[in-house]
């Protein structure tokens, strides 16, 4: 016999939207005994990111929208729509006329969604090729970390590079040149479909080491100075929190003599670099 206290519950809920949100909310609902497999009685709901908040949309003759802060609350809102025993002012919905907001739940193209990188700590590593203002070519690596603070991501990165080609390579026999930089700055992500563009800047310090073993005794010089760059990265999510990243950087360097035993001509350094990199980014640690 079915008692008076039996919960009236639609047999399933149909979820759509951001894949990570859908998976998280579906898991919470299933732990509460609510199925998320579609059937004839399925309640349609869609989950989207809106900045740092989560938007929950309900389909039907009238579109209903709730803005919440976390997946647990989103699951509670959806549960309240599917059950007639959960009522109260905290679960009140706000209808929106379909004439002014023609969004059909379940139709992907009607609600374009963009991937938003998860909040937390991001780490990245790139292999880089650089073209300097003195026509030299450098290769190197850059590694960094980025911590999400609101909309922006505060970043720190380090770079090592060495000259591999260019006209100055033949000016002195066996000349070598390498550089290390440390920069601090920030990045702002912009979702474009399943990818993300990161626009950023950085400033810091760096050192350049120049040496030659072509003479009777080794010669060398070292300079130290300010660094500044502006850069853009394009990440393409591969699996879970792992993304491939392509980057382009415009770097300005200032040099101050520290010590040296090379000629002034050999010690001249470039002040402008165009860098191109490819690597990986791990998001939301």
At 156 the pLDDT is 95
At 83 the pLDDT is 66
Higher pLDDT, 151 or 164: 164
Higher pLDDT, 38 or 197: 197
Strands 152-165 and 137-149: antiparallel
The average confidence (pLDDT) of the chain is 77
Higher pLDDT, 182 or 266: 182
pLDDT of 8 strictly over 50:
no
Contact between 142 and 157 (Cβ < 8 Å): yes
- Structural domain spans, the chain: 13-110, 121-282
At 195 the pLDDT is 86
Q: 76: which DSSP letter?
A: H
For range 92-98, the mean pLDDT: 47
Residue 86: count of CB within 10 angstroms of its CB: 14
The answer for residues whose C-beta is within 8 angstroms of residue 193's C-beta and 6 or more apart is 112, 114, 115
* Bridge partners (DSSP) listed for residue 9: 83
pLDDT category of residue 90 using cuts at 50, 70 and 90: very low
| Angle, in degrees to the nearest 10, between helices 71-82 and 19-31 | 60
Highest mean pLDDT among 43-47, 227-231, 240-244: 227-231
pLDDT in tens, 98-155: 444 444 444 444 444 555 666 788 999 999 999 998 889 999 999 999 998 878 889 9
Residue range 121-282 forms a domain whose CATH class is mainly beta
How far the first Cα of the chain sits from its last, in Å, is: 51
Burial track 113-140 (b if 16+ CB lie within 10 A, e otherwise): bebbbeeeebebebebebbbeeebebeb
At 226 the pLDDT is 93
Helices assigned H by DSSP within 59-200: 71-82
């Amino acid at each position: 016999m079915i008692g008076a206290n039996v919960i009236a519950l639609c047999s399933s809920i149909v979820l759509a939207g951001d894949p990570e949100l859908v998976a998280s909310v579906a898991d919470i609902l299933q732990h509460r005994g609510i199925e998320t497999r579609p059937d004839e009685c399925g309640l349609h709901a869609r989950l989207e990111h809106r900045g740092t908040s989560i938007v929950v949309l309900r389909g039907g003759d009238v579109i209903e929208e709730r803005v919440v802060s976390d997946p647990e609350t989103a699951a509670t809102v959806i549960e309240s729509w599917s059950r007639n025993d959960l009522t109260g002012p905290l679960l009140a919905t706000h209808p929106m006329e379909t004439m002014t907001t023609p969004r059909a739940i379940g139709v992907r193209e009607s609600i374009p969604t963009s991937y938003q990188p998860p909040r937390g700590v991001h780490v990245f590593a790139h292999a880089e090729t650089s073209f300097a203002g003195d026509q030299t070519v450098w290769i190197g690596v850059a590694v960094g970390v980025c911590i999400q603070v609101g909309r922006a991501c505060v970043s720190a990165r380090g770079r090592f590079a060495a000259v591999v080609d260019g006209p100055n390579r033949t000016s002195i026999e066996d000349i070598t040149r390498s550089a290390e930089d440390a920069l601090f700055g920030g990045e702002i992500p912009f979702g474009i479909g399943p990818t993300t563009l990161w626009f950023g800047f950085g400033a810091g310090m760096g050192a350049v080491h120049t040496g030659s073993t072509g003479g009777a005794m080794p010669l060398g010089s070292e300079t130290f100075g300010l660094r500044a760059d502006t850069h853009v990265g394009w990440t393409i999510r591969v699996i879970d929190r792992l993304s491939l990243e392509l980057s382009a950087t415009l770097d300005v360097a200032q040099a101050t003599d520290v010590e040296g035993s090379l000629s002034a001509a050999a010690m001249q350094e470039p002040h402008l670099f165009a860098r191109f990199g490819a690597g990986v980014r791990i998001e939301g640690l």
